[in-house]
């Protein structure tokens, strides 16, 4: 076999899209981070009025950043709310751009399911890098250039769709848009066009499975070999979700963690129990959200992210509001920081119920793991007598008999009480009564007065 063919065969078998970067020893990786961060700080100070103002307010100059600790400690935190405010004062981008306006090649947005969407201007370079951020996860999952992608969603301005499309194109795969099809239409499209990869939210993959069953279609016989998910807790966060999707589709489900305004920055681990921070494209560290101090290795903290791939609207020390547990080293061979269980909670989805802090995702994870609970559940927030109250409403799995619903609800309540030290009201609902969503599932129904609510969009 000629040498180039040997090389190609080995690269195809490898689980690494970029082996040199994904396995780089920690000391080398940290030295590279420092060099990139110093370059980035100098770039934004020179080019972005927004960052120059923030730095000048603190008397901070690029030369003050000599170590990674300096960077974490001195460079001010940024937050989605700052950007939304600046953009709404001076549409479309406020003074956050670090590149001339005419170099913005693609305008995308956050999903904006609640409140104002965040505008995300991307340069041509940014679109390529954003697209490739998906490719790391696709490759590790076993997807190869001969595969073909079916996108089971409508195309609007949402950053996730476009970047995923760029990622599939980057690999040279055939791409098929589901366009405006309904669930039955998606299933007919899949049977007719024979894609091998389904891209959807995890709950929508399960919904399609239910609809297929009603149509008398067994999806395990379809051409789909892989399903890949983002946008809400998926198979690597919720073992029950992984089992249900794998069984329904007869395929391997995968997941990545992304943030629309950054990128698909954490591709799934081949061990299928978490994601890795893409340290080619971002620098991340974990912060105690109450004190602002860095938390130790393996402790839960808020993921603070700096992007190397957003040159038009740079994001430095950006608050993700995701609570993660970041650890070093993994059986898969990546040296990149790993987040087992993906996102463990949201700092801004926290409510205080009778003096106990309750994170939405913590409750979701418990429900997702509980046998007999279907993926259709929601958390209703109310405010009475100065207290937040959270009620869990869930549809029992259709296999659970009506007579057993109350016992199931009590068991769920006990499980939450044991794990989170708070007693929540848990109500079973008849199958089919809770709302279904094509895109991002809405799990929190916030009925509290407006002034008590926080931004729930991401």
> Which residues contact Zn ion by CB under 5 A?
269, 330, 332, 334
Minimum Å distance from CB 9 to Zn ion?
23
Q: Which is nearer to Zn ion, 274 or 301 (CB)?
A: 274
Minimum Å distance from CB 279 to Zn ion?
13
Q: Name 300's Cβ contacts closer than 8 Å, sequence gap at least 6.
A: 286, 323, 324, 325, 344, 345
Which has the closest alpha carbon to 277: 301, 297, 303, 253?
Answer: 303
Q: Which is nearer to Zn ion, 118 or 280 (CB)?
A: 280
Q: Which is nearer to Zn ion, 245 or 332 (CB)?
A: 332
Q: b/e for 217-254, b at 16 or more Cβ within 10 A?
A: bebeebbbbbbbbbbbbbbbbbebbbebbbebbebbbb
73: phi then psi, degrees, rounded to nearest 5: -80, -40
Minimum Å distance from CB 318 to Zn ion?
24
Kindly state the tokens that stand for 100. Answer: 């001339």
Q: Which is nearer to Zn ion, 333 or 398 (CB)?
A: 333
Minimum Å distance from CB 178 to Zn ion?
30
Which has the closest alpha carbon to 223: 197, 200, 205, 247?
Answer: 197
Q: Are strands 373-384 and 387-396 parallel, antiparallel or unpaired?
A: antiparallel
Q: Which is nearer to Zn ion, 298 or 398 (CB)?
A: 298
Minimum Å distance from CB 237 to Zn ion?
15
Q: Which is nearer to Zn ion, 15 or 240 (CB)?
A: 15
Minimum Å distance from CB 16 to Zn ion?
11
Minimum Å distance from CB 429 to Zn ion?
38
6 sits in which H/E element:
helix 3-13
Cα 284 to Cα 44: distance, rounded to the nearest angstrom: 18
Q: Which is nearer to Zn ion, 23 or 194 (CB)?
A: 23
Minimum Å distance from CB 274 to Zn ion?
7
Minimum Å distance from CB 326 to Zn ion?
13
List beta partners, residue 350.
Answer: 359
Residue 112 has a CB neighbour count (10 Å cut-off) of: 17
SS3 content of the chain, % helix, strand, coil (to 5): 40, 25, 40
List beta partners, residue 338.
Answer: 276, 327
Which spans in 48-158 are helix H?
Answer: 49-57, 68-74, 80-89, 124-141
Q: Which is nearer to Zn ion, 275 or 444 (CB)?
A: 275
Q: Tell me which residue has tokens 């499980």.
A: 415
Q: Which is nearer to Zn ion, 287 or 332 (CB)?
A: 332
Cα 205 to Cα 379: distance, rounded to the nearest angstrom: 21
């Amino acid at each position: 076999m000629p040498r180039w063919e040997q090389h190609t065969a080995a690269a195809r078998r490898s689980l690494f899209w970029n082996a040199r970067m994904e396995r780089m020893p920690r000391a080398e990786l940290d030295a590279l981070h420092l060099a990139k961060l110093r370059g980035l700080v100098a770039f934004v100070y020179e080019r972005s009025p927004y960052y120059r103002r923030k730095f000048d307010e603190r008397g901070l100059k690029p030369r003050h950043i000599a170590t990674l600790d300096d960077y974490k400690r001195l460079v001010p935190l940024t937050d989605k709310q700052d950007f939304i405010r600046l953009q709404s004062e001076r549409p479309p981008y406020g003074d956050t751009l670090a590149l001339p306006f005419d170099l913005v090649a693609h305008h995308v947005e956050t999903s904006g399911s609640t409140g104002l969407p965040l505008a995300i201007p991307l340069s041509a370079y940014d679109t390529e890098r954003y697209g490739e951020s998906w490719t790391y996860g696709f490759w590790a999952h076993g997807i190869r250039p001969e595969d073909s992608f079916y996108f089971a969603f409508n195309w609007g301005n949402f950053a996730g769709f476009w970047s995923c499309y760029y990622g599939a194109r980057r690999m040279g795969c055939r791409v098929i848009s589901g366009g405006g099809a309904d669930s039955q239409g998606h299933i007919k499209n899949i049977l007719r066009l024979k894609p091998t990869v389904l891209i959807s939210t995890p709950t929508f993959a399960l919904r399609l499975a239910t609809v297929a069953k009603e149509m008398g279609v067994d999806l395990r016989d379809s051409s789909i070999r892989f399903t890949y998910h983002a946008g809400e807790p998926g198979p690597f966060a919720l073992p029950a979700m992984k089992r249900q999707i794998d069984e329904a589709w007869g395929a391997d489900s995968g997941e990545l963690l992304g943030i629309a305004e950054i990128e698909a920055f954490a591709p799934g681990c081949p061990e299928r129990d978490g994601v890795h921070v893409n340290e080619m494209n971002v620098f991340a560290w974990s912060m105690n959200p109450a004190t602002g101090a860095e938390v130790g290795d393996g402790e839960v903290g808020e993921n603070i992210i700096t992007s190397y791939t957003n040159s038009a609207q740079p994001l430095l020390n950006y608050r993700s509001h995701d609570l993660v547990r970041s650890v070093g080293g993994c059986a898969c061979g990546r040296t990149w920081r790993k987040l087992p269980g993906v996102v463990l909670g949201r700092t801004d989805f926290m409510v205080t119920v009778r003096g106990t802090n309750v994170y939405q995702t913590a409750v979701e994870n418990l429900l997702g793991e509980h046998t007999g609970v279907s993926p259709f559940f929601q958390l209703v927030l109310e405010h009475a007598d100065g207290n937040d109250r959270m009620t869990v409403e869930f549809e029992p799995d259709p296999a659970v008999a009506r007579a057993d619903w109350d016992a199931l609800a009590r068991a769920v309540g006990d499980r939450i009480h044991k794990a989170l030290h708070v007693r929540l009201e848990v109500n079973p609902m008849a199958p089919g009564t809770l709302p279904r969503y094509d895109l991002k599932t809405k799990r929190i129904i916030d009925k509290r007065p407006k002034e008590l609510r926080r931004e729930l969009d991401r």
